[in-house]
């Protein structure tokens, strides 16, 4: 420790900072990498252990499901045997039915507590062993009786319940699961409906489930198709509220293995549906806990990680010392550039990466000089382009033709229309000038194109109709000046000039989210797909008709003022018309203090 302090004092502060930084970054990176590798190895070990346990538990759940399914199917076979071999072939008025039921009961007394045949009026016809209904029992009101009579084609299984329908010479009641079905009996030659009731011994489920041990503290339980618990190893704790099971959720799952996080615990559910009944057998396997072997494995991983970390620290110390000096020299050169000295000499040296960085900075410095020169030239070109655009906004032919219309109207004593067109022309030029500003309100831009359309409509003697639909909320937003008029002009000269019928031009302005949209739609001649693709490209040569401010020019001006993500979108089909959509940001006029 003392020796380390002494050696550090012999180093300059700047050198210590660079070297220590490189050492720290490399070491931290190594620690993170080793930690991640260790975590992955340990996770793979845990996942492998979990997968093995889940696979073994899945086999146990499968076997258990087959046992339960077999038991229930045997119970259904017993009910079929009683119904088809005894009840259907025997009149209940003689003793043959009693002998037949007794024979089946004796052969299956290990799984059956009792068998009862009950008439449709709720009266006991026959039972095995000899039973009688309790005096206060009303069979007609029992759920199993109602359900079986209503669904005569099905065999119904009840939830576990205490066998309390009959009187027996026993000191306690037993738990059973009732199988019930509607049957047809013959009484003195007459057919009538009755109910066959078989009480299955619930202890069977206790015996097969209580002997099941799933690995890693897992367990199984059985529910009906609604999620009500038929058997659970912690049934008493669930009823008392000391244990919570997500049985309702498990009943909704399809058969198979599902990883879940229930009640804050990571578990694996293995669900199997029991045949005819729709019951769900659910195997629950918690994530594997870290056993003794797992702890030993963790210590081994930590030891290897520490060994690698020590070796990497030694290597990092050597590398940081090797890299620090060339980086310091490069840092000094960069500081000179930051201070404004673009004539500083950069000598690349050091390792390949540092030398490559020095060459890159040297090349970058040369490019900065070129870019600064280009920036000045581009700025001048931009201003010149804006000036040229303003000069070309007024087409002399448009002005001459408009003045001819005014003269013609005056000569024909149509002074009212002449006044209207003069007023529109004055407003048109007022907005065209806009005190030299290029950013105006949507209201002014729309007013400008409205005046233009009115003049052109008079000039072309109402050969086209136009409509302008603008949302009130967007009138105060910012717009680029002379954006709509060139596009409308193109629609008139190129879309409608050679049309046989009347033309239509629709202008709409609306806002969506944070964007402002202008659409100009006409029913003119339209364009081919190739023309649409080249309309906004650099290779497009505009027609000499019109103002000269073509769609390409408008698109470039929009991108210049608002960014490359904004501009024009052209949709057109031959003989169908053209739709041009202008996309601008929805910015209230004056927010950016635009005065250009």
**Do residues 217 and 302 both lie within one domain?**
no
**Do residues 407 and 507 both lie within one domain?**
yes
Tell me whether residue 594 is in a domain: no
Tell me whether residue 334 is in a domain: no
Tell me whether residue 332 is in a domain: no
The total number of structural domains in the chain stands at: 5
Reply yes or no on whether the pLDDT at 134 is more than 70: yes
User: pLDDT tens across 56-98, in order?
Assistant: 888 888 888 898 898 899 999 999 999 988 888 788 777 778 8
**Do residues 63 and 134 both lie within one domain?**
no
**pLDDT at residue 517, rounded to an integer:** 94
Using the 3D structure, point to which of 337, 357, 388 is the last residue of a domain.
388
Residue 267 and residue 198 in contact, taking contact as beta carbons nearer than 8 Å: no
This prediction has a pTM of: 0.45
User: pLDDT tens across 379-391, in order?
Assistant: 656 655 654 554 4
User: pLDDT tens across 521-560, in order?
Assistant: 988 888 888 888 888 875 555 555 544 457 888 888 888 7
**Do residues 490 and 564 both lie within one domain?**
yes
What is d(CA 220, CA 223) in angstroms, rounded to the nearest whole number? 10
Expressed as residue numbers, the domain containing 30 is 2-70+291-321
**Do residues 462 and 380 both lie within one domain?**
no
**Do residues 116 and 147 both lie within one domain?**
yes
What is d(CA 496, CA 485) in angstroms, rounded to the nearest whole number? 15
What is d(CA 454, CA 471) in angstroms, rounded to the nearest whole number? 20
**Do residues 317 and 452 both lie within one domain?**
no
Reply yes or no on whether the pLDDT at 565 is more than 60: yes
**Do residues 401 and 529 both lie within one domain?**
yes
Residue 47: count of CB within 10 angstroms of its CB: 12
Q: Tell me the mean pLDDT in the region 412-422.
A: 68
CA angle, corner 478, sides to 472 and 479, nearest 5?
100
Q: Tell me the mean pLDDT in the region 129-158.
A: 86
* Burial class, 392, CB count within 10 angstroms (exposed 0-12 / middle 13-18 / buried 19+): middle
Tell me whether residue 328 is in a domain: no
What is d(CA 114, CA 42) in angstroms, rounded to the nearest whole number? 57
Q: Tell me the mean pLDDT in the region 400-407.
A: 66
Tell me whether residue 79 is in a domain: no
**Do residues 144 and 97 both lie within one domain?**
yes
Cα distances from 221 to residues 206, 231, 235, 287, in angstroms, run 11, 6, 9, 18
Report residue 515's pLDDT band, with 50, 70 and 90 as the boundaries: very high
Looking at every residue in the chain, the average pLDDT score rounds to: 78
Report residue 341's pLDDT band, with 50, 70 and 90 as the boundaries: confident
Name the more confident of 475 and 53. Answer: 475
ω into 570 cis (within 30 of 0): no
Dihedral class, residue 505 (left if φ above 0, else alpha if ψ from -120 to 50, else beta):
beta
Question: Two tokens at 346?
Answer: 């950069």
**pLDDT at residue 395, rounded to an integer:** 53
Residue 4 and residue 20 in contact, taking contact as beta carbons nearer than 8 Å: no
**Do residues 438 and 423 both lie within one domain?**
yes
Q: In 3-state terms, what secondary structure has residue 134?
A: coil
**Do residues 382 and 410 both lie within one domain?**
no
Q: Tell me the mean pLDDT in the region 318-341.
A: 74
Q: In 3-state terms, what secondary structure has residue 387?
A: helix
**Do residues 503 and 544 both lie within one domain?**
yes
Tell me whether residue 552 is in a domain: yes
The domain that holds 403 is classified in CATH as 3.30.565.10
Residue 282 and residue 245 in contact, taking contact as beta carbons nearer than 8 Å: no
Tell me whether residue 82 is in a domain: no
Q: In 3-state terms, what secondary structure has residue 185?
A: strand
Reply yes or no on whether the pLDDT at 566 is more than 90: yes
Tell me whether residue 341 is in a domain: no
């Amino acid at each position: 420790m003392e020796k380390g302090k002494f050696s550090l004092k012999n180093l300059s502060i700047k050198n210590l900072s660079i070297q220590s930084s490189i050492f720290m970054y490399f070491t931290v990176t190594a620690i993170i990498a080793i930690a991640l590798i260790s975590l992955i190895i340990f996770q793979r070990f845990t996942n492998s252990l979990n997968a093995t346990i889940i696979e073994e538990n899945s086999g146990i759940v499968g076997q258990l499901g087959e046992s339960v399914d077999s038991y229930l199917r045997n119970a259904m076979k017993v009910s079929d045997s009683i119904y088809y071999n005894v009840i259907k072939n025997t009149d209940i008025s003689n003793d043959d039915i009693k002998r037949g039921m007794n024979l089946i009961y004796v052969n299956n007394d290990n799984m059956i507590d009792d068998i009862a045949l009950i008439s449709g009026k709720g009266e006991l016809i026959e039972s095995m062993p000899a039973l009688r209904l309790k005096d206060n029992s009303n069979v007609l009101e029992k759920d199993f009786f109602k359900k079986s009579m209503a669904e005569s084609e099905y065999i119904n299984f009840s939830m576990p319940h205490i066998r309390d329908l009959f009187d027996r010479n026993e000191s306690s009641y037993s738990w059973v699961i009732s199988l019930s079905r509607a049957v047809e009996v013959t009484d003195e030659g007459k057919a009538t409906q009755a109910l066959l009731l078989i009480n299955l011994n619930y202890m069977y489920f206790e015996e097969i489930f209580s002997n099941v041990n799933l690995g890693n503290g897992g367990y199984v339980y059985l529910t009906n198709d609604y999620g009500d618990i038929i058997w659970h190893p912690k049934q008493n704790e669930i009823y008392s509220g000391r244990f919570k099971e997500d049985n309702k959720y498990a009943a909704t799952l399809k058969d198979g293995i599902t990883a879940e996080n229930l009640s804050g615990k990571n578990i694996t559910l293995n669900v199997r549906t029991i045949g005819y009944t729709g019951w769900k057998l659910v195997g629950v396997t918690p994530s594997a806990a870290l056993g003794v072997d797992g702890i030993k494995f963790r210590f081994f991983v930590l030891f290897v990680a520490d060994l690698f970390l020590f070796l990497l620290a030694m290597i990092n110390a050597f590398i940081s010392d090797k890299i620090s000096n060339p980086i310091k020299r490069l840092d000094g050169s960069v500081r000179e550039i930051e201070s404004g000295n673009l004539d500083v000499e950069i000598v690349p040296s050091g390792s390949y990466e540092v030398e490559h960085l020095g060459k890159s900075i040297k090349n970058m410095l040369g490019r900065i000089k070129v870019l600064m020169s280009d920036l000045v030239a581009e700025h001048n070109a931009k201003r010149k382009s804006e000036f040229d655009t303003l000069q070309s906004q007024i087409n002399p032919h448009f002005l001459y033709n408009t003045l001819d219309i005014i003269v013609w109207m005056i000569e024909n004593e149509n002074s009212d229309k002449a006044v209207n067109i003069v007023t529109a022309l004055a407003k048109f030029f007022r907005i065209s000038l806009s005190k030299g500003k290029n950013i105006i309100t949507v209201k002014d831009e729309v007013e400008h194109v409205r005046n233009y359309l009115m003049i052109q409509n008079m000039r072309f003697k109402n050969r086209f109709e136009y409509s302008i639909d603008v949302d009130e909320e967007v009138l105060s937003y910012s717009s680029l000046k002379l954006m709509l008029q060139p596009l409308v002009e193109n629609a008139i000269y190129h879309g409608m000039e050679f049309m046989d019928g009347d033309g239509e031009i629709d202008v709409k302005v609306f806002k969506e989210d944070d964007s402002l949209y202008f659409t100009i739609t006409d029913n003119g001649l339209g364009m081919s797909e190739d023309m649409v693709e080249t309309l906004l490209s650099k290779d497009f040569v505009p027609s000499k008709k019109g103002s000269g401010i073509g769609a390409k020019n408008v698109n470039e001006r929009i991108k210049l003022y608002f960014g490359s993500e904004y501009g024009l979108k052209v949709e057109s089909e031959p003989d169908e018309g053209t739709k041009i959509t202008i996309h601008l940001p929805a910015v209230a006029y004056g927010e950016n203090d635009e005065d250009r």
